[in-house]
């Protein structure tokens, strides 16, 4: 019965079969709003209905200008955005690691 229901549901709503694109952004600085800082990492992947999604783990490296470092602590932010029909829910660990080396180019 469940397989019949799923087949009818997908046939009546074909957009459920289209992937949802998940975008990950890491930016330096900014005010906590996407686009207000300097983007240092961008990655995209597709999520499909009934697919397995593993925990998100991001590792980034940055070489900020010395002038930015001299102003004090630098803020790094991870943003996750989706554009599709499938809802994206983080239900496990999300890890964001990084390293910054000041004054390098």
- pTM recorded for the entire structure: 0.72
List strand residue ranges (DSSP E) for the chain, in order: 20-28, 38-47, 56-62, 76-83, 94-100
pLDDT at site 84: 78
Whether 93 shows a pLDDT value over 50: the answer reads: yes
pLDDT digits (tens, 9 = 90+) for 11-63: 556 566 778 888 999 999 889 899 999 999 999 988 877 666 667 888 888 98
Whether 2 shows a pLDDT value over 50: the answer reads: no
Given a contact cutoff of 8 angstroms between Cβ atoms, the answer to whether 60 and 41 are in contact is: yes
């Amino acid at each position: 019965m469940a397989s019949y229901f799923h087949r009818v549901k997908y046939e009546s709503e074909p957009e459920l079969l289209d992937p949802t694109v998940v975008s990950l952004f890491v930016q330096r600085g900014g005010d906590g709003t996407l686009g207000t800082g300097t983007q240092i990492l961008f990655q995209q992947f597709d999520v499909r209905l009934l697919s397995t999604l593993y925990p998100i783990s991001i590792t980034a490296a940055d070489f900020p200008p010395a002038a930015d470092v001299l102003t004090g602590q630098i803020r790094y932010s991870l943003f996750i955005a989706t554009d599709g029909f499938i809802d994206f829910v983080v239900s496990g660990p999300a890890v964001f690691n990084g390293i910054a080396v000041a004054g390098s180019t």
